[in-house]
Amino acid sequence: MPLLLRSIRRGRWHEIMGTSPTDEQIRNGPLQDFVPAHSTLSVWYIEDDRSNLEQVVTALASARDFFSNFDYALVDNALLTTLDLKIEQTVGHTPDQEANACWHRDLVELSEPKLMALIRAIAEKGEIARIPEKKMTQLIQRAVNVGRLDRTKLKKGLAAKLKV
């Protein structure tokens, strides 16, 4: 089953995971991780076997200003149909051109009720995970070393902490 990934702040989700959260619980936390731009929300497609998960997470973390823990939520792609959410493949905006072209998606024509339903589905049936800062640093360093990430496209604060 393919998955969709969205970066989050884990602290906003702990209270509601595995529950059917109220609208108030959603508005007070997780909704802040799902702020759409022009009724569009950026997400990432993760293969059935999760073979691209590490590359997608590395791409997203490499677009930050500094190294930190990376928290994300995963939800079954099939839930989009159930929730009547529309998805379009678009080009992402990270330093990893392959990830941008292959796995970036936008959820489009989003309304607050659709966002609330998506968050509720993640809380009830999804999963959240964290990659610690030390591991993220290693993943980004490795991606730069093998040429998957262009060091010149990294933000200065992040690039300055990498080994030459």
- pLDDT value of position 163: 82
- Answer yes or no: is pLDDT of 164 > 80: no
Tens of pLDDT, residue by residue over 42-100, are: 999 999 999 999 999 999 999 999 999 999 999 999 988 899 999 999 999 999 999 99
- Looking at residue 118, what DSSP letter applies? H
Alpha helices for the chain (secondary structure H): 23-27, 53-61, 79-82, 97-103, 112-125, 133-145, 156-160
